Amino acid sequence: MKLTSCKITPVNTRISRIRLLSDAGAEGSWVIDHDLHTMAESLFSAALAGQDPRATASLWRNMLDHAGDNLQARICAAALDVALWDLKSVSGNEPLWRKIGGARKPANIHFSIGGCKAGSGEEDRRLHEALSASGFREGRLDSPLDADDLALRIERLASALAQDAQPPALYVNAREQGALKDTIAAIRTLEQRFDITGIEAPFPMWDASGVRRISENIRAAVFNDLSAYGRERLLPLFRAHSLNIVQLSIFRDGVSGVLELADAAFGYELPVIIAAAPGNIGAHFAGALPYFMSLEIAELPEAQTLPSEIAISDGWALPGDAPGLGVNWPQPSI
Partner 1 sequence: MKITGFRSETYSMKMNREVADANLPSGVEIMPASILFLETDENITGISLGYGGGVEHLFHLIEGEDPRDVVGLWIKINDYLHKAGNEGAATLVFSAIDMALWDLKAKIAGEPLWRTLGAREGRVRAYASGLDYSLSDEDLFRFYRHMAERGVTAGKLKVGLDIEADMRRIGIMQDALSVAAAKPGLMIDSNEYWSPKQAVRYISMIEERYDLIWAEEPARRWDYDGLRLVSSQVRTAVATAENLKSLSDVYPLIANEAADVLNLSSNHSGVTGCRQIANMAYAHNIPVSMMNCQANFMAQVAAALPGHTMMEVVDPGREHCLKYDNHLEDGYIHLSEAPGFGIEVDETILKDLQQNPPKGKGAFPFPRREGAGRYLVPPAPGETPWSS
Q: Rule CB under 8 A: is residue 21 a binding residue for partner 1? A: no
Single residue of 7, 37, 66, 104 touching partner 1 by CB under 8 A: 104
CB neighbour class for 226 (10 Å; exposed up to 12, middle 13-18, buried from 19): middle
Question: Which listed range, 32-40, 99-107, 165-173, 302-310, lies at the site for partner 1 (CB under 8 A)?
Answer: 99-107
Single residue of 47, 74, 102, 243 touching partner 1 by CB under 8 A: 102
Single residue of 105, 175, 185, 204 touching partner 1 by CB under 8 A: 105
Cβ proximity to partner 1, 17 vs 99, nearer residue: 99
Cβ proximity to partner 1, 52 vs 149, nearer residue: 52
Report in angstroms how near the CB of residue 208 gets to partner 1 at its nearest.
Answer: 14
Q: How far apart are CA 285 and CA 103, in angstroms?
A: 9
Q: Rule CB under 8 A: is residue 43 a binding residue for partner 1? A: no
Write the single-letter amino acid at 5: S
Single residue of 234, 273, 283, 297 touching partner 1 by CB under 8 A: 234
Cβ proximity to partner 1, 69 vs 269, nearer residue: 269
Say if residues 141 and 115 touch (Cβ distance below 8 Å). yes
Report in angstroms how near the CB of residue 285 gets to partner 1 at its nearest.
Answer: 10
Q: Rule CB under 8 A: is residue 8 a binding residue for partner 1? A: no
Report in angstroms how near the CB of residue 150 gets to partner 1 at its nearest.
Answer: 34
Residues 57-96 that bind partner 1 (CB under 8 A): 57-62, 92, 94
Q: Rule CB under 8 A: is residue 288 a binding residue for partner 1? A: yes
Q: Rule CB under 8 A: is residue 233 a binding residue for partner 1? A: no
Neighbouring-strand partners of residue 272: 246, 292
Q: Say what angle helices 71-91 and 250-267 make with each other, to 10 degrees.
A: 80
Residues 195-214 that bind partner 1 (CB under 8 A): none
Say if residues 21 and 53 touch (Cβ distance below 8 Å). no
Question: Which listed range, 29-37, 204-212, 260-268, 314-322, lies at the site for partner 1 (CB under 8 A)?
Answer: 260-268
**How many CB atoms lie under 10 A from the CB of residue 69?**
7
Question: Which candidate, 255, 208, 216, 212, places its Cα nearest to that of 234?
Answer: 208
Q: Rule CB under 8 A: is residue 25 a binding residue for partner 1? A: no
Write the single-letter amino acid at 139: G
Q: How far apart are CA 42 and CA 48, in angstroms?
A: 10
Number of residues counted as binding partner 1 (CB under 8 A) = 38
Cβ proximity to partner 1, 188 vs 231, nearer residue: 231
Single residue of 19, 74, 98, 110 touching partner 1 by CB under 8 A: 98
Say if residues 135 and 314 touch (Cβ distance below 8 Å). yes
Residues forming contacts to partner 1 in the complex (CB under 8 A) are 51-52, 54-62, 92, 94, 98, 100-105, 231, 234-235, 238-239, 256, 259-261, 263-264, 266-269, 287-288, 290
